[in-house]
Amino acid sequence: MIKIEKRNDVPITLYFFTPFIAIILTILGGGIIFYILGFNPIEALKFFFITPISNLYGFSELLLKATPLCLIAIGLSFCFKSNNWNIGAEGQLTFGAIVGGGVALLFYNQEGFYILPLVILAGAFGGMIFALIPAILKTYFNTNEILVSLMLVYVSKLLLDYLVVGPWSNPEGFNFPETRQFSDSSRMPQLFEGLRIHAGIFLALAAVIISWFILYKTYLGFQIKVSGLSLKTAKYAGFKGKTMILVVFMISGASAGLAGVGEITGPIGQLHRMISPDYGFTAIIVAFLGRLNPFGIIFASLVVALTYLGAETAQIFLQIPKYTGQVFQGMILFFLLASDYLLFFKIKILNLKKNELRH
Amino acid sequence: MYKNFLRYLISAIFLLGLNVSANAEFKVGFVYVGPTGDHGWTYQHHEGRNAVEAAGIKTTFVESVPEGADAERVIRQLAQSGHDLIFTTSFGYMDPTNKVAKEFPNVKFEHATGYKREHSNVSTYSARFYEGRTLLGHIAGKMTKTNTIGYIASFPIPEVIRGINAMTLAAQKVNPEIKTKIVWVFTWYDPGKEAEAAQALIDQGADIIMQHTDSTAPVQTAEKAGVWSFGQASDMQRFAPKSILTSIIDDWAPYYVERAIAARDGTWGQQDTWHGLNEGMVAMAPYNSAMGADLVKEVEQLQKDLASGKAHSFTGPIYDQKGNILVAEGKVADDGMLAGMSVYVKGVEGDIPK
């Protein structure tokens, strides 16, 4: 008979070490998959994990890809830490991009230093408003935030579809589903000539520092942590649960909105239907891989961003199917959850015969 | 001053790192928007790539590349890793293709279905799918019992509107009672939505289903409902053997082989290609015997005439929905008008979504 028991004293160092174990297991698992597919595993892994960042250009692309993931995951960590399961970051990203993009289009062909900040603020505001919907429904009508936030993803995507096909489509664009290219005054400044990394990366870094401060140095952060550990304790301690829920959703939504507006004012430069390859969902993996810790999330976003780039390089150089990238993301999450399970629980194999004798 | 110097120095280092090209072997790269197994648009481009490979030229492809921020990186990476000619096979790659082309003047770029050729190393190409639609219209006009044709449309861009118009004009010619009903699904590939649209059209009395979307869901829905249908992009016959009358096939292979050889031999030049039945870029799958021998013969003759130029899909008089003349009697629409087509012809029901 197998018995599962909770471990009592889990060392905190081990808790932060398991993500590395998960990554190592993913690499090993990936090597085995490559081997089964008929590729030289060492060579395939090299093209997957090393080639994409072997030059500075590649590294800049890694940062570009990690920026939205990091921003969203930081926001999600507030929700997840306090037991609020916002899985609609993709929708908040899209709605932020819609509001920010709308402002950018409003200032089409105008100049002014104030335009970009307005666009960015509008994006954050849009994401925040959109995240408030599941938050308000949860606090005042007791709905399930998982369901509501997830369904709202489709609402915002359909709204974006409608806008880029209809009222906001480029008048000179032959009805193709996209808006005008934004003017330079609403584009993120490029950091280096010839590279695509843009000022959005500073937003992500600022988010990391600010969230660290909020989570570890303020009363709100304390409330979030206690609610995460035990809702009953939080209530007993007299925390105003409703306000906290609204606040964490707003933070989360604003971060996702920033990520969305960073993409459209950064590398994309317009609104169309493909502004995000599901960053909002991938960021959930990032948040957990980073242990919901702001600095852990930086590291996790780089690792997950690398799986995207690696999948491309592996296909270009070895023609390995591109979907291996998603397989890697799945494996990371699987190994992380599995090692967490083994970390918090121990499995005992009991000897049945002995038990029977006793009875 | 110092700051600028530092910026340029760093940029120079980055760019040096960027230009480490691989060996000198001639290579062709392909960027696909979908998976190679979509049995539609990407599948056919992949078939074209296989033909290039069969001609003895090394090729690489990257599939399912989103048309957002990722496309530029993939295209650049192909250019950087020693590919001499790169085909970007979806409209959404237009701006990234031109952007990367500027940085790699020695690499040739071919962008499908776009209209921007901002640098001398960018060509564009597309197919006159509307010629195939004319044949479908002729068949549909003859085969329908309810005089209602159901049309699943993707986006109201000129290419799609051209197809609707070409089909309707040809159907009217053989059956003046014909009505074209359209459902806009606003996607190129979404089997669920496409199947729903097909069902909605069948429920409204359409006994012929045609699609300007890429999945096989509409023909499968038609097969189940026992109505006729037409395949899109590739021969979809095996997905609905009873229902499919024929398919319009996008055959990119001859073009890809020709351009790859030209690039290898140094004879590649910038051009805007728009090939049709004549050059074989648009081809028809075998006709269903249920059409009857006479109709098959008629359609084959029309196919020959369209290819030779004896017949044209848009021959006047053509009127718009309000009855204004678009193309005068005895004239045919020129390529400029076709490329920018944005109104329905008479006989199409509804409005173009705005």
pLDDT tens, residue by residue, B271-287: 999 999 999 999 999 99
Q: Is B257 left (phi over 0), alpha (psi -120 to 50) or beta?
A: alpha
- CB-nearest to A175 from B77, B103, B157 is B157
Q: For residue B345, is it within any domain? A: no
Q: For residue B256, is it within any domain? A: no
A-B C-beta contacts closer than 8 Å: 105
DSSP state of B278: T
- CB-nearest to A56 from B14, B73, B92 is B14
Cα gap B207→B145, rounded to integer Å: 7
Please give the residue of chain B at the shortest CA–CA distance from A56.
B14
Q: Do B66 and B117 have their domain in common?
A: yes
- CB-nearest to A313 from B64, B66, B77 is B77
* Chain B nearest C-alpha distance from A199 (Å): 15
Q: Do B117 and B19 have their domain in common?
A: yes
Q: Do B142 and B217 have their domain in common?
A: yes
Q: Tens digit of pLDDT for each residue in B305-329?
A: 999 999 999 998 999 999 999 999 9
Q: Do B45 and B144 have their domain in common?
A: no
Of B102, B127, B152, which closes a domain? B127
Give pLDDT tens digits along chain A (359 positions).
788 888 888 888 888 888 999 999 999 999 999 999 899 999 999 999 999 999 899 999 999 999 999 999 999 999 999 999 999 999 999 999 999 999 999 999 889 999 999 999 999 999 999 999 999 999 999 999 999 999 999 999 999 999 998 899 988 888 888 999 999 999 999 898 888 999 999 999 999 999 999 999 999 899 888 888 877 788 787 777 788 899 999 999 999 999 999 999 999 999 999 899 999 999 999 999 999 999 999 999 999 999 999 999 999 999 898 888 899 999 999 999 998 888 888 888 877 665 555 55
Pairing relationship of beta strands B108-112 and B85-88 according to DSSP bridges:
parallel
Q: For chain B, what is the domain count?
A: 2
Q: Do B332 and B220 have their domain in common?
A: yes
Which residues of B are less than 8 Å from A263 in CB distance? 68-69
Q: Do B153 and B82 have their domain in common?
A: no
Contact B62 A274 (CB under 8 A): no
Q: Do B122 and B136 have their domain in common?
A: no
Instruction: Provide ipTM, 2 decimals.
Output: 0.84
Contact A177 B155 (CB under 8 A): yes
Residues 6+ apart with CB under 8 A from B121: B101, B104, B105, B106, B107, B108, B109, B270
Q: For residue A247, is it within any domain? A: yes
Taking 3-state DSSP, the helix, strand and coil percentages for chain A, each rounded to the nearest 5, stand at: 70, 5, 25
- CB-nearest to A176 from B60, B66, B91 is B91
Contact A174 B62 (CB under 8 A): no
Q: Do B78 and B171 have their domain in common?
A: no
Q: For residue A154, is it within any domain? A: yes
Q: Do B59 and B136 have their domain in common?
A: no
Cα gap B194→B47, rounded to integer Å: 24
Residues 106-135 of B with CB under 8 A from A: 115
Q: Do B95 and B20 have their domain in common?
A: yes
Contact A195 B14 (CB under 8 A): yes
Of B77, B97, B127, which closes a domain? B127
Q: For chain A, what is the domain count?
A: 1
Q: Do B63 and B112 have their domain in common?
A: yes
Q: What is the CATH number of the domain that holds B106?
A: 3.40.50.2300
Query: What residues make up the domain containing B205?
Result: 129-250+283-339
B60 φ, ψ to 5°? -140, 150
| pTM confidence score | 0.87
Query: What residues make up the domain containing A138?
Result: 67-316
Q: For residue B263, is it within any domain? A: no
